[in-house]
Chain A
């Protein structure tokens, strides 16, 4: 401890941090657990293992994990393009990355559910494509016309589907990976790459063995934040999710159901689901942190 004490006033700042943390984070969390403790064990267990609730966990965690994984790849690529290439519109793209942060979640939800509805731009993309092609053919005086269902495969009707949930979660989580990886990439010494190349490593090997390990801790942080945010998303997901209990209902929706339903002890049951979500998130975050700890082993 002594060696890390660069700035004086350790006691004061530590005390302040702890009380702040308690007030903002620890007290609400313990209240949640406390509330759940009122439930009889049997009731708790039957609530959290109810097949409908289990399906909701599966969707929430599955979609969040999948979205985080996709964001891991997409976000890394985006950060790479933003840092390594100079192209017109780069600054604009850079600014747009923060968009999902700024947008109110309900707006995101409405936008996406509308886009992917059967009449939305994406939901009817195939029909629109056929229309546009036919218009062009007409303008060129070609007699041929595409039938109405020719591009049906392009009709991305994801509203009320679980795929739609993943798409929204990708949108919501994208900034995390980009914004965490970007500065590390910017500050990375190009000489590391050049050293690897001079030692005979090809571009792919250089990326895999030299560049990526340097980015790994930041990348993992981005992943875990994107995941944590996704698990808790409500507003943006609720409109696009099908919300059929047992099939396409997300866990936070189940909480709302218990809270506003007319079932006896609904609030306690809602918190029970909350506690499970909390514990599962905690486990995932601890796992990712352990990975990070391993990735940073050389810094100790």
Chain B
């Protein structure tokens, strides 16, 4: 089932949590909603589910092309997984998973054996077979999360909405569940929208990423598109660390290296170049390029790469560079060394943008 949101606005009192947002998710896609805390991700997701009503006359939600304004949450064929699981404490794991089937009107309710079979299959799917008789309080956070997912899947929803599914878990479990979700989505093929404020998670798992900020979607695209071709400075800074080089377009910025598209680099006026740490180049020699001069402040080893922090001698700004181990050893950098800084790739935005 496809999901389409058209010009949705949702306010609480006189505070607008979601402003004129439009979004299309095709059948079977896995889309991530990312954005900082308070950017309206949960509000958007809850509006799609029907747990929140859009402002009167401000927005339409279409499921499979059909306006669902009049449909209550129970009839939208959605599965919703809450940020804090919302498992029923007084029911066993098996009863939790079976809930959506048991509350059906008896005409369409599967028989006991069928329900037991479906619950067993779902517990297999979330790799928790044999835990039917436990209560939620006897499970770990990650296990509860997966039960919440199994419970939502039991009714065979056409759309799965996940609110920060891994939010409360530690980094290692998150990474495992991320891969597992990717695989699950591949196996089940249900249209999925999941909220996260972890950009890494969004880029790794999703087919497409929607970046939200202050109630609007700033950009929607594949992970490569949003990461490599950010539409706004916000997207650029939100999806990973960036260095900011302020200067004048055409003169300073072009002088210190190649710039990529973004804004026309020859137009006059102030601009900022956004450079990812792994696109920063450090050299001992000027190399013919009239690069910027900086001093090595500190270095730190982070797994396969090494981070080098530099201070530019003219603007006193700090720059973070990420070098491969080989390059780092080749340069033999020491704290206090003076080096030349340039970049392989930058994204230039004229300064009428604000972050």
Contacts and interface: CB of A to CB of B under 8 A. Distances in A.
Q: Which of the listed residues A189, A192, A199 has the most CB atoms from chain B within 10 Å of its own CB? A: A199
B229 interface: no
A298 B135 contact: yes
Q: Which of the listed residues A195, A205, A216, A295 has the most CB atoms from chain B within 10 Å of its own CB? A: A195
Interface stretch (A48-56, A58-66, A100-108, A207-215): A207-215
B246 interface: no
Given A200-B104, A201-B103, A192 B72 contact: no
Contacts of B75: 200
Contacts of A201: 74, 99-100, 103
A213 B103 CA distance: 15
A213 B90 contact: yes
Interface string B89-107: 1111000000110011000
A119 interface: no
B103 A214 contact: no
B86 A199 contact: no
A4 to B, nearest CB: 16
Contacts of A295: 90
A201 B105 CA distance: 9
Given A191-B82, A199-B100, A201-B99, A214 B90 contact: yes
B73 A194 contact: yes
Contact of A192 (B73, B80, B88, B100): B88
B137 A298 contact: yes
Contact of B82 (A195, A213, A216): A195
Interface residues of A, number: 22
Nearest to B108: A200
A298 B84 contact: no
B12 to A, nearest CB: 15
A163 B152 CA distance: 50
A213 B74 CA distance: 21
Contact of A200 (B74, B89, B92): B74
Contacts of B74: 197-202
A32 B297 CA distance: 84
A196 interface: yes
B17 interface: no
A214 B89 contact: yes
A42 interface: no
Contacts of B91: 213, 298
A199 B82 contact: no
A295 B78 CA distance: 31
Nearest to B46: A194
Given A196-B99, A199-B151, A205-B103, A191 B73 contact: no
A194 B89 contact: no
A251 to B, nearest CB: 37
A298 B96 CA distance: 13
Contact of A194 (B80, B92, B99): B80
Given A205-B103, A298-B135, A198 B80 contact: yes
A125 B79 CA distance: 55
Contacts, number: 74
B53 interface: no
B155 interface: yes
A18 to B, nearest CB: 31
Nearest to A299: B137
Contacts of B151: 195, 199
Contacts of B152: 198-199
A199 B79 CA distance: 7
Nearest to B104: A200
Q: Which of the listed residues B78, B103, B152, B155 has the most CB atoms from chain A within 10 Å of its own CB? A: B103
A192 B135 contact: no
A299 B136 CA distance: 9
Contact of B103 (A191, A200, A297): A200
A221 to B, nearest CB: 16
Interface string A202-244: 1001000110011010000000000000000000000000000
Contacts of B88: 192, 195-196, 209-210, 213
Contacts of B49: 198
B51 interface: yes
Interface in A156-201: 189, 191-192, 194-201
A222 to B, nearest CB: 18
B79 A209 contact: no
Contacts of A299: 89, 135, 137
A180 B89 CA distance: 19
Q: Which of the listed residues A189, A200, A210 has the most CB atoms from chain B within 10 Å of its own CB? A: A200
A220 to B, nearest CB: 13
A20 to B, nearest CB: 32
B123 to A, nearest CB: 17
A191 B86 contact: yes
B103 A189 contact: no
A297 B78 CA distance: 31
Interface in B46-74: 49, 51, 72-74
B355 to A, nearest CB: 34
A189 B100 contact: no
A195 B86 contact: yes
B82 A200 contact: no
Given A298-B91, A299-B137, 11 more contacts: A191-B82, A195-B80, A195-B151, A196-B103, A198-B79, A200-B103, A200-B104, A201-B100, A209-B88, A213-B90, A295-B90
21 contacts: A189-B86, A191-B84, A191-B86, A194-B73, A194-B80, A195-B82, A195-B86, A195-B151, A196-B103, A197-B73, A198-B49, A198-B80, A199-B74, A199-B100, A199-B151, A201-B100, A201-B103, A202-B74, A216-B90, A297-B135, A299-B135
By Cβ-Cβ distance, the 6 closest A-B pairs, closest first, are: A199-B100, A191-B86, A298-B135, A201-B103, A195-B86, A213-B90
